[in-house]
Structures are given as structure tokens and as C-alpha cells.
Structure 1
Amino acid sequence: MANVVAARKFGGMISYNPHDWRSHLLDIRGSMLPEIMGRVALCVGWSVLVTAAHELLPPWIHGFSLSVPSTVHTLIGTALGLLLVFRTNSSYDKFWEGRKLWGGMVNECRNLARQATTLLTAAPELQRELILWTASFPYAAMSALRGAKALAPSSKDLPQADVGAVLAAQHMPLAVAQRISRAAVTARNRQVISDQMLMLFDQNVNLLIDYIGACERIHKTPIPFAYMVHLRRALILYCFTLPFVLVEPLHWWTVGGTLLVAFVFFGIEEIGVEIEDPFGFDENDLPLERFCQTIEGNLLAVMDPAEPKPWPTSGNGDEQN
């Protein structure tokens, strides 16, 4: 039974130097351009038709002037800008909350490993089991958020019957947490640790469950449907009526003006869509697989400090927490 992360290529946060404009200014990957290209092209094509009709056909053919005053469009544009800012800010709040939750998960896994190595020295087999299950918790959390079934590579050293039961569980993170608690309770029953020490382990496990629950709340709660639909309808109406406002003062430059406005507005909206659920495979999502590898490497190193463990590198400091 497979117990490693699926072979599918994971997405994740793109590393870049914020001080260097030249290295990423023309990048396509992660820039939202592929996602919005079709919508922008439709707006530009429509602006070409409107401009051609205005410039090349005499007014008596289309029966009325294609140019309209800009007053109403300006007012709508102001409201639309505020809506886009609110949309993006709401999405970034979810992105940043997700990052903080995974940082907390990193810390609690390290706390569990620290407690195990200091409090369970009299029961090395339980110490090893608790640390290995703790190393698998972030993998189980990542799999639950991504609709997969996988545990840490180091889970091969755990009882395979338990590994199979966890992989078949309805909620994998909860099943892993149960086994962490079971190892701590077994240590208490053997009088390796006291009731007070057991409570320390239980507090850390409770926090892990709280973190994955909060991540699931973010994952399963998109922006309200009515807000999303109204914003997109307003965007379409604004961008497709823009050529009628620009055609009189700009003439053929209307095509370029429409291109710029559509690119900016559709891009902002698409950024909000991509980052509102930061646990997926998109280029701007959180690098969960790197977080999992970091936790596993830390815990295996604590469990066996004599054996050097590889440290995952990313180039942007995300390996810490």
C-alpha cells in the first residue's frame, strides 16, 4: 500500500528576489496571465469592432453615435475598484491565516518531538513511535486538504497495519493524532510518565487538531457566491462598455486602453481567486510539501542526532516555520 506523497507535481509559492525587477517582470508562470488571457482577448476584440464601426462607418449606417459620456462609467469604476480591493484583501487574509496555521503546526510537532526525547527515554520504542507518527501528521493534514491519501516516507518504519488503518480512515489527521495520544497513554500506563506529563502531550495534540480544523474552515469556505457573481458581472459590463467611453477621445487608441484596463482588473480578480484557498497546487499556493519535509527532517534528526538528515532548501527562508 502506498504511503508516500503522491507523485503528482505539487504547486507552491514561487521564490523570487523582490529587489530585482528584471528577474521576474516578464515571467508568465504564476503571473495570472494564462488564466485571464481569454477574457482580455475578448475585450480587446470587442473594442476593435466598436472602434472600427466608429471610425470607418458613417453615422447614418449604425443610426446613432457609438460614443457615450464617461460620467456613469467613472462612478461605476470607482465602486468596482473598491470591490476588487475588498475581494483581494479578503483572499489574502485567508492566505496569511493559512500560513500562520502551518507555522503553528511546525512548532507543535517540534514540541512533541522535544517532549518525547526528554520524557520517554525509559521507553525508546514508544518514543520512536510517537515521533514517527508526529512526523506523519503534517503529511496527513496536507493530504486531507488536497483530497489525497498519503503519509510521510518515514511511516514505512511504523506498524504497517496501523499505517493501513490510517490511510483508510475517514479523517487521516484525526487518525494520526489518535495514535500519537495512544503512544503517550501507553507510556503513562507503564508509569514512564505521570498524568501531568500526559497532559502536556495532550495539549500539543489538541493544538494540532485545532490547526487542521482551522485549515479546513479556510479550505471549505469560499467567498460568498453572490459576492463573486456580482463582482464578475460588474467586471464584464465595465470592460465591455469601456470602448464606447474611450472611442471618441482616443479613436484607435481605444484598443490599447481597453487592453490595459481589462488586464489590470481581470488580473486583480484572478489573484483573489488563486490565493483564497492556499492549500492547493497553484503556483501561488503555500509550499505544503516543503513544510512537511522540514518537519519530518527536524523530527528524524531529533530522534537520531548521530545520523545527519538532509535539510530541504527553498531559497526564501520558508524552511523555518
Structure 2
Amino acid sequence: MRSRPRRHSMKPLMNRARRKPRRMPLVLRFAKGSVHGDIMIAVILHAIFAALIVYIDDFTPYTPHLPGSITSSLSIVVGLLLVFRNQSSYARFWSGQENLTTICTNIRNLTRTFLTCSYATNKPEPSEAERAETETAVYALLAVVYAVKNTLQWEWEHSVGAPDLEDSGSGSLKPELRALLGPQMSETHEFEGLGLPIQLTMSIEAYIKRSHDRGWFHSPQASQLSVQLNTMVAAFGTMETIRLTPIPVAYLIHTRQVLALYGGVLPFAFVESLQWWTVVIVSLITFTLYGIEAIAYQLEEPFGWDKADIKMDDVVEDLRIEVGVLLKEWQAGAPMFGRQEN
């Protein structure tokens, strides 16, 4: 009998690719990962209102009927609102993921170049201090993505949200980020208004300049490295824009009011032909429409901790593993870096 293949504890993109087998079909899931809890109150209220309209129609002399053409007109408006709402929210989510990938890609590229080109041909081997400087630059690259994550999530050691403004230096940083910062980064300036990702890119740019002066990078190469660093800063700026620019509250209010109006008109259009089935049909329609709007609400803020948000912790952890392996191999003089023994 053929034995089962042994499972390894480590693989590329291990955290992002982790998938648990689904024990239940998605159509039967009503709690974990769904938006049902967010919309249940609204659906119940519309069902109660629909039942009240049916009761009035059956047991009172009043006939609360409206022509079906009214709901047809409103449905066009509701459809347009929800389409725009979901498209704009998903665009924010996708842009956040795309720019995070841009930062990670440039960190990979810069790490590869720093470790492979940190010496000059026909010149003395780098000293221990210069090799330590290269390691510090690579750690600073890795610290950038940690700092981006912490900045966008307002995730500091003391609290999530507004930190203690009396604290200064690196004492407010998460331990995993503080461990990556070298002695020259022992003091940070977030509470003076300078973002840590920008401060880190300054030290990386300084390393590129010093390496160019030593002859490790030729001028076009150093220029290209600076371009990649600029691309990282631009991607971070786009992510900041998403984080700091919410959907206008006037649009959110109007969307909710239109949904409530549409759900309130439906019983008047259905009660004459459907009677008590009106309650069921109205519940299904409002469940669908409020659910679409709730999904858009989750996607518009992609840098949080909900299940629908970008898995920033997993992305950062996978990148940390990759860079850690590269540094270990570089320190051991692995052939992948192309160094020739003299």
C-alpha cells in the first residue's frame, strides 16, 4: 500500500495559501463569514411592517394598495445605487491589495539586489561593518511593510486607535517591528508627524547612495533602485488615501434611506395579489438588497481585522520568512548570490 506523502510545516506563501476544508456548503452558512447578523434587524422590521399592511388589508375596511409600476420605477434607482456602491467599495479593496503587493514586490527586488550586489569586483571584500550595514538595510526594507501595516491599522503596542501622545521614541512600536530596527533607528518620530515608513525609506536611500559611492552599484542601477523605493512610497500613499478617505456619509445615508423606502413600498404593491405571502417575498427581497449593501460596507475599509479584509498579517509573515531565508543563505555564502571565491 502506497504511503501518504509527508506534509511539510513550511512552504512558500504558507500563511496566505492556508485553506481549511469547508465542512458545510456555503449556501447553508448563516453565521461565520456572512453578513446575516448585520442585516437581520432591518429584515425583521420590514417583515413586521409587511405583516401589518396585510393585517390592515384583511381585517379593516382600508385597502392599502399601490400599482406595481411604482416598485418598478424604484427598483431601477435601487439597482443603480447598489451597483455603484459595490463597485466603488470593491475598487478600494482591490486597490489596497494591489498596492500592498507592489510594496512587497519592491521589497523582494531591493533585497535581491542588496544581497547580490553588495561588493565590487576587483576590490577588497566588504568589511564586517559594511556587511552589517547591508543586513541593516535589508531589515529596514522588511520593517517598511511592518510599519505600513501598523500605520494603516493604527496598531501600536499600547492600543489600537489613538496612541499615548506622551510616548516618544520606539517604545510605542510593536515588538516585532522594534526588533527589525537598527541602532540608527532607535528613535522614531511618529508622534511628531513623520510616518515610520517614510523614515525607513530615508535610511534605505542613504544606503543606496553609500553603496554607489563604494562602487557596488553603478549609476543606472542606483537610479533604478531609487525608482523602486519611490514606487513603494507612492503605493503607501495610495493606501493612506483609502484609509483616510471614507465613502461620503451623505451617500451612505441616502443609500440606506432609499433601501428602507423601497422595502416599505413593496408590501403595498404585493398585498392585493399575494396576501400573507407578501411577508415572505418582502423578507427575501430586503434580505438580498440589504445583504449586498452590507458586503459593500465591509469591503470599503480593507485594512481592518474582519474576515473580508486584506490578510495583512499573513502577507507580512510570508515576506518575513522569505527575507529571513535569503539573509541566512547570504550569511552562509550560498552560491545563489553569484559570489566567486578568489
Answer yes or no: same fold by TM over 0.5: yes
Matched, 1:162 2:160: no
**Which residue among 99, 102, 107 is the counterpart of 2:100?**
102
* Contact 2:115 2:330 (C-alpha < 8 Å) held by counterparts: no
Q: Which moved more, 1:217-226 or 1:155-164?
A: 155-164
1:286 pairs, out of 310, 313, 338, with: 310
Deviations 1:110-161 (A, max 9, x none): 0010011012143311110111011111111111111123457275254356
C-alpha root-mean-square deviation of aligned residues, in Å?
2.7
**Is 2:34 aligned against 1:31?**
yes
Match of 1:272 among 285, 296, 302: 296
Which consecutive residues of structure 2, in runs of 5 or more, have no partner in the other structure?
1-15, 120-125, 157-172, 333-342
**2:288 is aligned with 1:230:** no
CA separation of 1:273/1:263 partners in 2, compared to 1, >3 Å: closer, same or farther?
same
Matched ranges for 1:143-162 at <5 A: 143-149=150-156, 150=173, 153=176, 155-156=178-179, 158-160=181-183, 162=185
Amino acid at match of 2:118: L
**Distance in 2 of aligned mates of 1:67 and 1:207:** 60
Q: Identify which range, 176-185 or 76-85, moves more after superposition.
A: 176-185
**Partner residue of 1:75?**
73
Q: 2:112 aligns with which of 102, 105, 114?
A: 114
Aligned residues of 2:146 and 2:177 also touching (Cα < 8 A):
no
Q: What are structure 1's unaligned runs of at least 5 residues? A: 1-11, 309-321
Distance in 1 separating the partners of 2:135 and 2:331: 15
What do residues 222-270 of structure 1 show as CA deviations (whole Å, max 9, x unaligned)? Answer: 3333332222111111112211211111111111111101100001111
Moved more, 92-101 or 176-185: 176-185
The aligned length equals: 290
1:104-143 aligned within 5 A: 104-121=102-119, 122=126, 123-143=130-150
Larger of the two Rg values belongs to structure: 2
Matched residue SS, 1:283: coil
Given the two structures, how large is their TM-score scaled by the length of structure 2? 0.77
The 1:134/1:77 distance shift into structure 2, 3 A limit, reads same
**Corresponding residue of 2:44:** 41
Match of 1:315 in 2: none
Residue 293 to residue 213, structure 1, CA distance change in 2 (3 Å): same
Equivalent residue, structure 1, for 2:242: 218
Distance 1:14 1:39, change over 3 A: farther
| CA–CA distance in structure 2, aligned partners of residues 180 and 274 of structure 1 | 35
Aligned to 2:10: none
Matched with 1:297 is 321
1:136–1:151 Cα contact (<8 Å) kept: no
Go from structure 1 to structure 2 and tell me whether the alpha carbon gap of 1:13 and 1:120 turns closer, same or farther (over 3 Å shift).
closer
User: Which 4+ stretches in 1 moved above 6 angstroms?
Assistant: none
Whether the aligned pair in 1 keeps the contact of 2:51 and 2:279 (CA below 8 Å) is yes
Q: Distance in 1 between matches of 2:103 and 2:180?
A: 22
Q: Secondary structure at the match of 2:28?
A: coil
**Distance change >3 Å, CA 101–CA 157, structure 1 → 2:** closer
Question: Against the structure 1 CA distance between its residues 157 and 94, is the aligned structure 2 distance closer, same or farther, given a 3 Å change threshold?
Answer: closer
Q: What is the alpha-carbon distance in structure 2 between the residues aligned to residue 86 and residue 21 of structure 1?
A: 34
Q: Deviations over 1:42-91 (max 9, x none)?
A: 11121222222222x231xxxx3112211111111122112211211121
Equivalent residues of 2:140, 2:180 under 8 A apart: no
Given that 1:109 and 1:135 are in contact with CA atoms closer than 8 Å, whether structure 2 keeps it comes out as yes
The residue that corresponds to 1:6 in the other structure is none
Tell me: CA distance 1:306–1:26, structure 2 relative to 1, closer, same or farther (3 Å). Answer: farther
Distance, in Å, in 1 between the alignment partners of 2:224 and 2:133 is 16
Asked if structure 1 preserves the Cα contact closer than 8 Å seen for 2:188 and 2:196, the reply is no
Identity %: 25
TM-score w.r.t. structure 1 length? 0.81
Mapped to 2, the partners of 1:15 and 1:237 lie a distance apart of 41
> In terms of mean alpha carbon deviation, does 195-204 or 227-236 score higher?
195-204
Please say if 1:249 is aligned against 2:273. yes
Conserved 8 A contact 1:145-1:219: yes
Conserved 8 A contact 2:147-2:177: no
Q: What is the distance in 2 between the residues matched to 1:101 and 1:84?
A: 26
For residues 133 and 267 of structure 1, what CA distance do their matches in structure 2 show? 43
